[in-house]
Amino acid sequence: MQFFHNTTQEFDVTVISLQGELIDRNQGKALLSEIDTLVAERHLKYVFDLAGLKYINSSGLSVLINILTKVRKLGGEVIISSVSAKVNELLIITKLHTIFTVTDSIDKAIAKLK
C-alpha cells in the first residue's frame, strides 16, 4: 500500500491527513519537504489526522518525531488526532503518547491549539 498526505488550513492551523502506510522514510520525503516550506512561512500549529493511516512503523514514527522536533524548536505545536487502535498501541509501546498530544478528533485538536 502506498502513502500519501493531504494538507488543508483551518484558520491558523495546518491539518495534514495521512493515508495508507508510512513504513519508509523515503515515503515521508514529500511530507517533510512540505513541512519545511510551511515552517519557513511561519506556520507553527499542526494537526496530523491519522484516521486514514493503516500502518506505521519505526521509520514512519521517526518522520513524525522529526516534524514535532522541528516545529517545537520554533515555538509551535503538533497534535495527533483520530488514531486507530493499532497505531495508538504502537504510540503506547514506544511511549510516544507521552511526547505527542493525542486527541480523538480534529476539532478537539484544533481547540487545543487555540
pLDDT score at 25: 84
Residue 30 has, within 13 A of its CA and on its CB side, a CA count of: 10
Q: Which long-range contacts (CB under 8 A, 24 or more apart) does 70-75 make?
A: 70/35, 70/36, 70/39, 71/35, 71/39, 71/44, 71/46, 74/39, 74/44, 75/44
pLDDT of residue 6: 97
Provide the whole-model pTM: 0.94
| Mean pLDDT computed over every residue of the chain | 95
* Cβ contact 24:56 at 8 Å: no
Over range 9-25, report the average pLDDT.
Answer: 94
From 88, 31, 29, select the one nearest 56 (Cα to Cα): 88
What is the homologous superfamily of the domain 3-113 according to CATH?
Answer: STAS domain (3.30.750.24)
Question: What residue spans define the domains of the chain?
Answer: 3-113
pLDDT of residue 24: 87
Categorize the per-residue pLDDT at 31 as very low, low, confident or very high, splitting at 50, 70 and 90.
very high
